[in-house]
Amino acid sequence: MLKEMIAARIANGPLEEVSAHCDGPCGVYDPASARIAAEAALSMTKKILALTPPDTGDSAAMAAYLNTVSRYVTIKEQQAHLAKEELLVLWTDYFKPVHLDAYPNLHDTFWKAAKLCSAVKVEVSLDHANELMAAIQEIHNIFWATKSRDVTYYTAS
């Protein structure tokens, strides 16, 4: 009892601080950045699939259509590539050998997710875009489990 009181008194007094922070690079990681990019790529995939070409005789409408398609495709490719970059950073920088013991399929999960990013970039595939989202959700679950935190997965749309 007395010992605890003295300990509390020392602990609550003015003390020097010592850092157990991560060093720069800051060590702030979150699969959310990959999820946002993948979700944007999924959204663009849906938008491309929903487009209807105009009559070939209407050159102004055709120009607008082609312009829209190329813009959607550009955004889809950029976002799919960004998702891959974000995943690779997470994979190679955040995850360490100790995590592999707990999640032996970690490498396979990331490898397949990165491959899906490529597929979403190259194709107009709703299936692959949805599979990528599922893969990122799995990575979200693994990531937050390694931090012993219960973070609910969500999507923006």
Partner 1 sequence: MSDKLPKSGWMEMFRWRMGRRRAFRVVGESMMPTIPPEAVIFFDPGAYDDNPPQIGDVVISRHPFQTDVQMVKRVAEIREDGRYVLHSDNPAGSDSRGFGSMPRGHILGRVTSRLK
Whichever of 14 and 57 has its CB closer to partner 1, that residue is 14
According to the binding rule CB under 8 A, does residue 50 interact with partner 1?
A: no
According to the binding rule CB under 8 A, does residue 5 interact with partner 1?
A: no
Would you give the DSSP letter of residue 123? S
Query: How many CB atoms sit inside 10 A of residue 25's CB?
Result: 9
**How far is it, in rounded angstroms, from Cα 90 to Cα 111?**
12
According to the binding rule CB under 8 A, does residue 20 interact with partner 1?
A: yes
**Residue 26's closest CA among 110, 98, 94, 96?**
94
According to the binding rule CB under 8 A, does residue 25 interact with partner 1?
A: yes
According to the binding rule CB under 8 A, does residue 32 interact with partner 1?
A: no
Contact pattern from residue 94 through residue 133 relative to partner 1, giving x for each residue in contact according to CB under 8 A and a dash for the rest: x-x-xx----------------------------------
**How far is it, in rounded angstroms, from Cα 151 to Cα 129?**
23
Alpha-carbon torsion, ordered 47, 52, 53, 55, to 10 deg: -150
Residues that bind partner 1 (CB under 8 A): 3, 6-8, 10-11, 13, 15-23, 25, 27, 29, 94, 96, 98-99, 146-147
